[in-house]
Amino acid sequence: MGAWPLFRFRGIRVFLHWSWILVAVYHINTGKGEYPHIGWDIGEYLALFGIVLVHEFGHAFATRQVGGIAERILLWPLGGIAFVQTPPRAGAYLWGIAAGPLVNVVLWPVLWLITSQFSDPFNFFATCPRVPNTYSLLNPLGTPEAWPLFLHHIFWINTILLIFNLVPAYPLDGGQIFRGILWFFVGPMKSLLIAAWTGLILGGAAMIFVLIKFQSIWMAIMLGLIVQQSWMAISRVREWSRQMRGQ
């Protein structure tokens, strides 16, 4: 698997993929200069994956609650993966998926409350002026003050992760929630097919958009994985259909 074991919690083993270190070093170094010390950049990146980790534990614990199996979580550069086996019931599947974003929903008012003690989370620079041409904040003594900026970033990391995960594009949580709702009406295979085609179309269109508009290779890679996973799901449904016709 190319991953290192980190710890075990409630019988769930957490692994870190080796490539996470490389991407972490790249992002931390490209972010230098925003804080007065690189330690803040490291802390922000660790906070990002702390949020991702509790999100994945949400999936895992909810899956166990409905009688499923959850024994492993993998952290890698594009987020986290909770390896779960949910009972083949629409309600169980839907709860196992929805519990992840619900963790971010619970975190949102907590982070908003903490951040708002130092600045307006939605109008940051109006309440915390910055030095021209830098992001370094100054307290009345003129020394760098990083707490407001750090908390502001953590608040928006959680907010963006929540919004991104709720996009109805398979295999994102939003796409799987969409599938879980459809499951009640059209069954497991057809719901997966509809959700996967939706993810393929949305992911493909978004990938083209970010390449043309923003020239963002990193975002294009993430969206390309959505397209790839959606196509794999479509292929699985087609294979299942062939097997059922052959019986």
- Whether 102 contacts 167, CB under 8 Å: no
- Looking at every residue in the chain, the average pLDDT score rounds to 86
Instruction: Look at residue 132 and tell me whether its pLDDT is greater than 50.
Output: no
Instruction: Look at residue 213 and tell me whether its pLDDT is greater than 50.
Output: yes
> How long a stretch of residues is the chain?
247
Give the pLDDT band (50/70/90) at residue 123: confident
Which residues are catalytic, by number?
A: 56
Instruction: Look at residue 143 and tell me whether its pLDDT is greater than 50.
Output: no
Residues 6+ apart with CB under 8 A from 204: 223, 227
Is-cis flag, bond preceding 171, omega within 30?
yes
Choose the weakest-confidence range: 3-12, 15-24, 189-198: 15-24
Instruction: Look at residue 241 and tell me whether its pLDDT is greater than 60.
Output: yes
Token pair of 5, please? 């074991």
| pLDDT single digits (tens) 34-65 | 777 788 888 888 899 899 999 999 999 999 99
Which pLDDT score, from 0 to 100, does residue 246 have? 67
Token pair of 67, please? 């009688």
- The rounded radius of gyration (Å) of the Cα atoms in the chain is 20
- Which comes out higher in pLDDT, residue 116 or 124? 116
Choose the weakest-confidence range: 24-28, 122-126, 127-131, 151-155: 127-131
Q: Mean pLDDT, to the nearest integer, of 144-150?
A: 74
Burial class (CB in 10 A: 0-12, 13-18, 19+), 167: middle
| pLDDT single digits (tens) 169-204 | 998 999 999 999 999 999 999 999 999 999 999 999
